[in-house]
Amino acid sequence: MKQYVIWKGIASVEIPDSFQVATIGEKRKIFGNYRKLPDFVLLDRQHGIRISCVDTDRIENLKKMDIEQTAQFMSHIYKRTVPGYRCHGIYKRADDDEVCAILYTHYILNDTLYTMSLIYKEQDTIHLLQCTCSNADTVEWHPVFKNIVESICFNKKEKRHDKGTM
């Protein structure tokens, strides 16, 4: 297992050694040519599993919602825009004073894609840690993602705010 820092130092997560950093070409293939590419994308090429982190502060409505409402709203948006989207559940996880939601989904484009998204809000920014696997049996993909999400460790707020001071 390797330890990775995500969301600009907000949290760290343990990822199995089978995951490798995605190349620019692989990121372009996944996310398209006209989007800003996420900095953090890991691939388990043998099993077709992808882990990525993104931040967003563009959606004005989400800033006013609590974490459960944010997860439900994102699920609703996906349901309206992604063909074959289905939400399997939204769960809440607390780590000391940090709270995040976990959204289990699958949708069908060319293949069936299984996803698990960890959603964390900090002030006006929404942070996502998303795990995606294509054409996998639930028994195979769920334990990998569950271990990753359970291993996430939020850094203390004092440490984060001290980084910019002398």
Q: Would you state the pLDDT for residue 31? A: 84
- HSE (side-chain half, CA atoms, 13 Å) at 66: 4
Question: Which CATH number goes with the domain that contains 78?
Answer: 3.40.1000.10
Going by the DSSP 8-state scheme, the letter that residue 36 receives in this structure is P
Point out which residues pair with 4 in neighbouring strands.
13
| Domain-embedded: residue 84 | yes
Using only the alpha carbons of the chain, give its radius of gyration. Answer: 16
Name which of 105, 53, 56 is nearest 78 in CA terms: 105
One-letter identity of residue 127:
H
Q: What is the pLDDT of residue 55?
A: 84
Structurally, the chain folds into a number of domains equal to 1
Tell me, what's the pLDDT at 58? 67
| pLDDT values of the chain reduced to their tens digit, one per residue, 166 residues | 899 999 888 899 999 898 999 999 999 998 888 778 888 999 988 878 889 998 877 667 777 788 888 888 888 888 888 777 888 888 877 766 667 877 777 777 667 777 888 888 887 788 888 888 876 555 555 677 778 877 888 887 655 544 443 3
Q: Calculate the alpha carbon distances from 68 to 22, 62, 82, 121, 154 in Å.
A: 31, 11, 21, 11, 19
Q: Does 105 map to a domain?
A: yes
Q: Quick check: 38 and 31 in contact, CB under 8 A? A: yes
Give the global pTM: 0.79
Residue 166 lies in a domain: no
- Owning domain of residue 121: 2-161
